[in-house]
């Protein structure tokens, strides 16, 4: 059974940092693009970033470029999102997601999410 389990969310002050993790199981992690997608309190969805199988390509939405870094450890079947210089508008549920197949860089299968709250 495919599983994606996010962790690392919590309350952080503006300007602070947080590192999210996603533990993958039930599929060959190193064969899939992986993504982060967030859902704002008003329920809107925003794709945040993705990373190629070997980590050689990474892409970000403009609103997080330069502040967030996506990475992966294929030996540990894990995906990460390092979030720096956090702002109130980064408050959201962050989902880890997998592509549908080797060539699919989009978010097909999603985890249950972890809540990040940026507030003083």
Return the residues of window 38-67 that contact another protein according to CB under 8 A: 43-47, 50, 59-62
Judged by CB under 8 A, the number of residues near another protein is 21
Among residues 107, 114, 116, 118, which is the contact residue for another protein, using CB under 8 A? 107
78 burial type by CB count under 10 A (0-12 exposed, 13-18 middle, 19+ buried): middle
Nearest to 114 by CA among 16, 24, 4, 28: 4
Among residues 33, 68, 113, 118, which is the contact residue for another protein, using CB under 8 A? 113
The mark string for 67-96 relative to another protein (x by CB under 8 A, - otherwise) is ----------------------------x-
Residues β-bridged to residue 118: 12
- Pair of tokens at residue 105: 């860089």
Q: How far is the CB of 84 from another protein (least distance, A)?
A: 20
SS3 56: coil
CA dist list (Å): 94 to 44, 79, 102: 12, 12, 23
Q: Could you list the residues that contact another protein (CB under 8 A)? A: 43-47, 50, 59-62, 95, 100, 105-113
């Amino acid at each position: 059974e495919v599983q994606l389990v996010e962790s690392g969310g919590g309350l952080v002050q503006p300007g602070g940092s947080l590192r999210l993790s996603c533990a993958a199981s039930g599929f060959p992690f190193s064969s899939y693009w992986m993504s982060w997608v967030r859902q704002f309190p008003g329920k809107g969805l925003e794709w945040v970033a993705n990373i190629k199988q070997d980590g050689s390509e990474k892409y970000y939405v403009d609103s997080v470029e330069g502040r967030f870094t996506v990475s992966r450890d294929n030996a540990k079947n894990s995906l990460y999102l390092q979030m720096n210089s956090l702002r109130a508008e980064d408050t959201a549920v962050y989902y880890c997601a997998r592509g549908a197949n080797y060539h699919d860089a989009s978010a097909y299968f999603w985890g249950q999410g972890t809540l990040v709250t940026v507030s003083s």
